[in-house]
Amino acid sequence: MILPVGLLIIILWVPSPANHLDPKRRWPQYEPQEPVKSLENRNQARDTRIRRAHQKWKEQITIFRIARYFVQRSLNGTISYDIGVYQVTVDSSESRYGSRYKWIALSNTTLGVLMAALNSSILIISLPVIFDGLHVNPLAGNQTSLLLWVLLGFNVATTVFLVTFGRLSDIVGRVKLYNVGFLVFTLGSILCSITWSSGTSGEVELIAFRIVQGIGGAFLFANSAAILTDAFPANQRGLALGLNQIAAVGGSVIGLVIGGLLAATGDWRWIFLVNVPIA
């Protein structure tokens, strides 16, 4: 009886060959590793992290360039733009030139626009005195077209060259060409006042000098609003542009009054010299 029970215990205690050869059944806590596959997974994970970091870096550089472009174009003060580990800081014209720069720019551009607008209408009332000084009958058969050119030559030249000078100012510099406009406008005013011929030749000379004035006015009109946009921050830009436009509209009205007052003196040359002291 004891022998069969002992044999049964031995049989049950000794592991079977299948259990002995299968390590998962004998030591389930020790799983066999696959070193090659794990290495591939680690390499893939590393490559993925590198690609993501590179993509994030490219995005940050792109945002950096975009932010720098718009900040430089807006010039609305010292602006900081955070893009992760980068920070964009650009100083505006106010921080470069001081807080008084914008008011100096406003006064100069407003004065230039006032001068140009004043000359667009100053001849309307004073034309009879001018033609008497040139000894020309504007109502003669061959003088009508010249009459129109004397009256509108300034406006035609300003209109024709306005867009061209605006684009040229973007390339060369707005302030530089604005100062050139002051110089050309003053030169044209002086030439108009010293017109030395009389008759039809004097009228042609006056038309040519008025066109020179119009070229200077085109420089002034093309750059005034652009200079104010660069100089003033966004919360004050409407005020600056509004004052500038008031000068433009008011100049056309004041020109009629000043032209009539100067024509009453009888000397037509003062009509063109009125802008020279201001310039």
Q: What is the pLDDT of residue 128?
A: 85
CB atoms within 10 A of CB 97: 13
Q: What is the pLDDT of residue 177?
A: 92
Instruction: Write out the two tokens for 93.
Output: 């014209």
* Final residue belonging to a domain, choices 91, 123, 148: 91
Residue 141 resides in a domain: yes
Instruction: Report residue 67: phi and psi, to 5°.
Output: -60, -45
Residue 14 resides in a domain: no
Q: What is the pLDDT of residue 139?
A: 75
Which amino acid is residue 197, in one-letter code?
Answer: S
With a cut of 70, list the residues of the chain below it in pLDDT.
1-40, 60, 63-99, 141, 277-279
* Final residue belonging to a domain, choices 91, 111, 143: 91
Listed in sequence order, the residues at least 6 apart from 226 whose beta carbon sits closer than 8 Å to its beta carbon are 166, 169, 170, 174
Q: Do 241 and 225 lie in a common domain? A: yes
Q: Do 81 and 142 lie in a common domain? A: no
Q: What is the pLDDT of residue 66?
A: 63
> How many domains does the chain fold into?
2
Residue 169 resides in a domain: yes
* Final residue belonging to a domain, choices 72, 91, 110: 91
Residue 3 resides in a domain: no
Q: Do 103 and 238 lie in a common domain? A: yes
Q: Do 79 and 215 lie in a common domain? A: no
Which residues form the domain of 201? 98-273
Q: What is the pLDDT of residue 121?
A: 85
Residue 5 resides in a domain: no
Q: Give the gyration radius of the chain's Cα atoms.
A: 42
Q: What is the pLDDT of residue 98?
A: 57
Q: Do 263 and 215 lie in a common domain? A: yes
pTM recorded for the entire structure: 0.63
Q: Do 45 and 134 lie in a common domain? A: no
Q: What is the pLDDT of residue 125?
A: 85
